[in-house]
Structure 1
Amino acid sequence: MSLASQVLDNAKKDGKMIATAESCTGGMVAAALTDIPGSSAVVDRGFITYTNAAKVEMLGVSPDTLAAHGAVSPEVAREMAQGALARSHAHLAVAITGIAGPGGSEFKPEGRVCFGIATRGDIRTDTVEFGALGRDKVRAAARDHALRLLLDAL
């Protein structure tokens, strides 16, 4: 059984709705979930917020947080997850922001991805250094990690 199927099954059992807030994955987590028939029972909505302006406008990420920490940071991932939860009917939200590549910098290397996972009572962040695997592989690894975070939260 796929990770996405496991997430959906557990969410259905728990009566939980899910929202996603994605930057570097461009909707891959939402697509993985909605590829499965019956996903509408638990997937409320997904936000693709590729630009900083979209993060601010759609999710309520603070411009001050972006200025202080940059888009690829646990602080922004936290605010993205909180914003997705606040702007949806979901009980659980996952957020992803990272550098899929090519590129990066000394301080924010290619393959760094920050995640936020929020419920109505808790929020956690996680940063993973996937390394310079190439854009497609970093994005796929980030999608799978986000699905695991959702599964663990359920």
Structure 2
Amino acid sequence: MAAAIVAAATARGATITTAESCTGGMVAAAITDIAGSSAVFERGFVTYSNVAKTEMLGVAPSTLDAHGAVSEEVCREMAEGARQEAGATLAIAISGIAGPGGSEYKPEGRVCFGIATAAGVHTETVEYGAPGRAEVRRQATRHALDMVRDALDRL
């Protein structure tokens, strides 16, 4: 998957950046594992804390207060901020509850995604259930890579 992303981005002259919370840089690592990725991967932001989301990506404290870090609203602002800060063609953002834990309102395994391009931002939420922290992170990384590939196909 990551090799196809690097090839597609290279062919389109596109650049990619990541803004990751629960995946802790796993999406960036998957892309940069591919030889030649330096031509298309601009930078990655690991913004695990709310302070990092605000300081590095410009997520509004009011958005965090109103919706919480694990929300499509925050992922929208993360993706927009990462794209702007990096000057990239597209940005993927991820925030979720990998576990263990969660709450009645935000259960373990809930992961929100946002992808920003010049055409705008698309957000979505996936409920992975509680297969364990490592598995939620693995599945979220895979989903994020799918979103990047699909966005590149639309450029």
Would you call these one fold, judging by a TM-score over 0.5?
Answer: yes
- Look up the match of 1:56: 54
The residue that corresponds to 1:69 in the other structure is 67
- Following the alignment from structure 1 to structure 2, what is the Cα–Cα distance between the partners of residues 145 and 108? 19
1:55-112 deviations in whole A, cap 9, x for unaligned?
A: 0000000000000000000000000000001101210000000000000000000000
- The farther-off stretch of 42-51 and 118-127 is 118-127
Letter paired with 1:121: A
Aligned match for 1:33, one of 31, 35, 43 = 31
Distance in 2, matches of 1:44 and 1:97, equals 20
- Percent of residue pairs identical: 64
Partner residue of 1:90?
Answer: 88
Query: Once the 2 structures are TM-superposed, how far is the Cα of residue 120 of structure 1 from its aligned partner?
Result: 1.7
Structure 1 position 6, deviation (Å)? 1.0
Paired with 2:102 and 2:2, the residues of 1 have a C-alpha distance of 29
1:19 maps to 2:17: yes
In 2, the alpha carbon distance for the partners of 1:149 and 1:89 equals 19
Would you identify which runs of 4 or more consecutive aligned residues in structure 1 move more than 6 Å?
none
1:129 to 127, 146, 155: 127
Q: Which runs of 5+ in 1 are unaligned?
A: none
SS at 2:126's partner residue? strand
SS in 2 for 1:87: helix
Indicate whether 1:104 and 2:119 are aligned: no
Aligned-partner Cα distance in 2 for 1:103–1:37: 37
Equivalence for 1:153 = 151
For 1:70, the aligned partner's letter is: G
Normalization by structure 2: what TM-score?
0.97
* 3-state SS of 2:100 partner: coil
**Ranges in structure 2 where 5+ consecutive residues have no aligned partner:** none
Using the TM superposition, give the Cα deviation of residue 121 of structure 1 relative to its aligned residue in structure 2, in angstroms: 2.2
Q: CA-atom RMSD, angstroms?
A: 0.5
Query: Deviations along 1:93-137, whole A, 9 cap, x unmatched?
Result: 000000000000000000000000000221100100011010000
**Map of 1:7 onto structure 2:** 5
